[in-house]
């Protein structure tokens, strides 16, 4: 009888410990979600650009005229599949034009480590855009 009482108390303590761990972890998860929502709501939309800023563009993949995959799949493929990465020429040229109009941006740096290039016409357009 004494052994059964000790066993019951042990099982009860284990159950209470598991319940406490569950409550703590769920409360921390809830506080993390609430904190993230407040952080996103209170964060500034855009950061100020300082004087004499350099625009850094990392070109990875093929240079194409239009994106071959839809946008929802492209961001996922960019993370995992290096063969499917694409640099969309009109988007790149628009970024360069916007940087040229901004008086705070003085230089553009193109990082071409993973850049595969494109057709002659696309490369010529990129050269003219630069």
The pLDDT tens digits for 21-64 are 999 999 999 999 999 999 888 887 677 777 888 888 888 888 88
Strand order in the sheet with 53-64: 86-88, 53-64, 105-117
106 pLDDT tier (thresholds 50, 70, 90):
confident
d(CA 119, CA 86): 13
- Name all contacts of 20-26 with Cβ < 8 Å and 24+ positions apart: none
Q: Is residue 5 predicted with pLDDT exceeding 80? A: yes
Contact residues for 114 (Cβ-Cβ < 8 A; gap 6+): 58, 59, 60, 61, 82, 85
17 pLDDT tier (thresholds 50, 70, 90):
very high
Fold of 53-129: 2-enoyl-CoA Hydratase; Chain A, domain 1 (3.90.226)
């Amino acid at each position: 009888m004494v052994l059964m009482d000790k066993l019951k108390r042990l099982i009860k303590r284990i159950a209470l410990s598991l319940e406490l761990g569950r409550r703590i972890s769920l409360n921390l998860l809830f506080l993390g979600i609430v904190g993230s929502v407040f952080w996103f709501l209170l964060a500034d939309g855009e950061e100020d650009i300082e004087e004499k800023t350099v625009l850094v563009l990392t070109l990875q993949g093929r240079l194409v005229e239009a994106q071959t995959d839809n946008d929802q799949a492209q961001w996922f493929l960019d993370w995992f599949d290096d063969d499917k990465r694409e640099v969309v020429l009109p988007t790149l040229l628009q970024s360069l034009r916007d940087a040229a109009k901004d008086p705070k941006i003085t230089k553009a740096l193109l990082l071409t480590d993973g850049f595969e290039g494109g057709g002659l016409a696309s490369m010529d357009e990129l050269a003219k855009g630069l």
